[in-house]
Amino acid sequence: MSEKDLEKEIAAIKTRNKRVETDKAWETSWTRKICIMVLTYVVVVIYSFTISKVQNVWLSSLVPVIGFTLSTLSLGLVRKIWEKRR
C-alpha cells in the first residue's frame, strides 16, 4: 500500500470517527430528549382529544412523557450493569 493510499485511508477513518462521535453526542443529548418529549406530548394530546373520553387531557398526556423520560434516564445505569455482566 502506498503512502498516498495510507493517507487517504487515515483521512477516511478520521472523517468516520468524527461522524460517529457526533451521532453519539446527538443520541445522548438533552436537546434530542426534550424534542422527543415535546413531540410525544403533542401526539398524546391530539390522540386524547380525538378519543374524547379522557378526563383532563393536558395532565393525563404527561404520563407517557414522564415514562419516556424516566426510561431514558435509567438506561445509562442499565447499560453499565449490562456491560459489566457481558
Return all residues near 42 (Cβ < 8 A) that are at least 6 apart. none
Helix (H) or strand (E) holding 26: helix 3-27
DSSP-derived 3-state class of residue 21:
helix
Q: List, for residues 42-82, the tens digit of each pLDDT value.
A: 998 898 888 877 788 888 888 888 888 888 777 778 888 88
User: Where are the chain's structural domains?
Assistant: 3-85
How confident is residue 20, by pLDDT bands cut at 50, 70 and 90?
A: very high
Extract the runs of DSSP E, i.e. beta strands, from the chain. none
For the chain, what is the radius of gyration of the CA atoms? 21
- Quick check: helix, strand or coil at residue 61? coil
Residues 14, 29: Cα–Cα separation, whole Å:
22
